[in-house]
Copies of this chain bind each other. A is one copy, B any other.
C-alpha cells in the first residue's frame, strides 16, 4: 500500500449524507455519479477522500449491506502502483480476492479483498 486512498461509507440517503459530510462535517463535494448498481459521491477531506455509496437497487451489494447492517463504514481502500502485481503478491500471502479486477469510480482498476481474509475488513486496492 502507498496510502489510504479512501474510506467507503454505505449510506441510505445520498442527499442527506452529502449534506452531513459537507455542510456539517466540513468536507467538500468533489463529484457525484453513478456506477453499475450504485450512486456515489466523493467527498474531499483535505488530501483524503470519503466515498459515499448509496444503493440503486436493494439487491446490490451495498443494498444488502445497508439492509443487513444499516448504513455505516463499508470498506477501506489503499492506493497501489500496479494492481495485478500487488494482487498476485497478496494472494500468494493468503489474502482472498473478491470479484474481478474492474474499473472503479476514478477510472482506474480496482479490486476487493474478502473481509474474512483481512481481519473482517472489506479491503479495496485502487491503482493510482
The 0/1 profile, CB within 8 Å of B marked 1, for residues 54-85 of chain A is 00000000000000001111011011000000
Docked CA distance A72–B10 (Å):
15
CB-CB nearest in chain B for A26: B1
Q: Is A106 an interface residue (CB 8 A)?
A: no
Main SS at interface, chain A: mixed
State whether A72 and B11 are in contact (beta carbons under 8 Å apart), knowing that A25-B1, A47-B47 are contacts in the complex: no
Pick the contact of A120: B23, B70, B75, B79 (CB < 8 A): B70
| Contact B73–A1 (Cβ < 8 Å) | no
Cβ contacts A to B, 25 pairs, < 8 Å? A1-B27, A2-B45, A3-B45, A3-B46, A3-B47, A3-B48, A4-B7, A4-B45, A4-B50, A9-B119, A10-B120, A12-B119, A17-B119, A20-B118, A20-B119, A23-B93, A24-B95, A25-B78, A25-B90, A46-B79, A70-B120, A71-B120, A72-B120, A73-B120, A73-B121
